[in-house]
Amino acid sequence: MMAEENEKTEDTEQEAEEASAEATPEEPEAQEEVAEETPPEEAEDSAAEAEPDPAEPEAGAEDLAGNDDELTPKQRRRLERSRASGPPGPLLSPEERAARRGEGRRRAAGQRGRHRRRLRERRGEPGTGTPAAERVPGKRKVRLGKVVSSGAAKTITVRIERARRDPTYEKVVRRSSTVHAHDEGNEASEGDVVRVVETRPLSRTKRWRLLEIVERAR
């Protein structure tokens, strides 16, 4: 009886161990990744590719090279510097740079002067051109009117009346206009019949001048 009980306990223990093994899955072993070591020659080549070449133009210079006419002065100078080749010049002080700049300007001014002299020699002596036309004064208008106001100093207001026959209805149409005339001696008075002549502008509204008094007011 004791042997049978021992066998039963052993069987139950084995079943319990199998159940616990199924409940907890086995953890996979961590696989260590081995980093591949790059040889020193390949590392030097990659570093050389990463560093920019000083002889190559600046970034964006190729894009700007196609439209030189649309460039700003700053972009044009940048493009010229990118296209420049040769060893760099010596370091100059501000005074030396100013002297070199002035020398370049004087040289350019001399070239412009020589070019202009050659153009003048090629064209020859300037001609006299078209002679000025003789000035003939035009005929001034003379009108007869009646003074309607003489209150202002050296100025009279003259009403000029005119009558014309209408070409269609053959009716006499009378019209009048008012002008300001210059009276230097304040000779005319209201109601006088005067003759005025056209003259240069004497003020903002005066374009006529008193020529004579035809009839005094009664």
Segment 97-130, tens digit of pLDDT: 999 999 999 999 999 999 999 988 888 777 777 8
pLDDT at 40 over 50: no
DSSP state of 86: S
Distance CA 79, CA 62 (A): 9
Mean pLDDT of the chain: 79
Relative to beta strand 206-215, strand 193-198 is antiparallel
DSSP state of 188: -
Look at residue 35 in the predicted model and tell me its pLDDT. Answer: 40
For residue 180, what pLDDT band results from cuts at 50, 70 and 90? Answer: very high
- Enter the tokens of residue 63: 């894009």
Per-domain boundaries in the chain? 142-215
Helices and strands, counts by H and E, the chain: 5, 5
Q: Global pTM? A: 0.40
| CATH fold for domain 142-215 | OB fold (Dihydrolipoamide Acetyltransferase, E2P) (2.40.50)
Distance CA 5, CA 8 (A): 5
Distance CA 204, CA 218 (A): 32
